[in-house]
Amino acid sequence: MTEQQGDLQLIGVTKRFGAFTAVDDLTLTVPRGSFFALLGASGCGKTTTLRMIAGLEEPTAGQVLLGDQDVTNLRPYKRPVNTVFQSYALFPHLSISDNVAFGLRRRGVKQYADQVEQMLHLVEMDGFGKRKPSQLSGGQQQRVALARALINRPQVLLLDEPLGALDLKLRRQMQVELKRIQTEVGITFVHVTHDQEEAMTMADTVAVMNAGRIEQLGAPVEMYDFPGTAFVANFLGQSNLLAAEVHGRSGDDLLVEAYGTRYTVPAARARAAEGTVWLGVRPEKLHLTTGEVPSGHQSATGLVTDSSYMGVSTQYLVRAPWGDELTVFVPNSGVAAPLSVASEVTVHWRPEHAFLLPRPAGETHAPVVDPEEVAA
Tens-digit pLDDT profile for residues 314-356: 999 999 999 999 999 999 988 778 899 999 999 999 999 999 9
Start-end of H helices in the chain: 46-54, 96-106, 113-122, 138-150, 168-185, 196-202, 220-225, 230-235
What confidence tier does 107 reach under pLDDT thresholds 50, 70, 90? confident
- pLDDT score recorded for residue 222: 95
For residue 191, what is the enclosing H or E element?
Answer: strand 188-193
pLDDT digits (tens, 9 = 90+) for 22-46: 999 999 999 999 999 999 998 999 9
**How far is the C-alpha of 205 from the C-alpha of 215, rounded, in Å?**
13
Band of residue 370 on the pLDDT scale cut at 50, 70, 90: low
In this prediction, residue 3 has a pLDDT band, given cuts at 50, 70 and 90, of very low
**Band of pLDDT at residue 4, cut at 50, 70 and 90:** very low
CATH 3.40.50.300 applies to domain 8-225: yes
Band of the pLDDT at 186, cuts 50, 70, 90?
A: very high
- How high is the pLDDT of residue 359? 96
Q: Under a CB-based contact definition with an 8 Å cutoff, are residues 357 and 281 in contact?
A: no
What would the mean pLDDT of 119-141 be, rounded to a whole number? 92
Interatomic CA distance for residues 142 and 135, integer angstroms:
13
- Distance CA(152)–CA(150), nearest Å, equals 5
Task: List, as one string, the DSSP characters of 57-79.
Answer: S--SEEEEEETTEE-TTS-GGGS
Is 174's pLDDT higher than 90?
Answer: no
What are the domain boundaries of the chain? Answer: 8-225, 238-358
Work out the mean pLDDT of the chain and round it to a whole number. 92
Sign of CA dihedral 83, 88, 93, 98: positive
Q: What is the pLDDT of residues 201-211, one digit of tens each?
A: 999 999 999 99
Instruction: Name the CATH topology of 238-358.
Output: OB fold (Dihydrolipoamide Acetyltransferase, E2P) (2.40.50)
Q: Is the pLDDT of residue 376 over 80?
A: no
pLDDT over 60 (residue 312): yes
- Helical residues (DSSP H) of 6-63, grouped into ranges: 46-54
Mean pLDDT along residues 145-171: 88
The closest of 359, 349, 364, 362 to 278, measured between CA atoms, is 359
Question: Residue 2's pLDDT is what?
Answer: 39
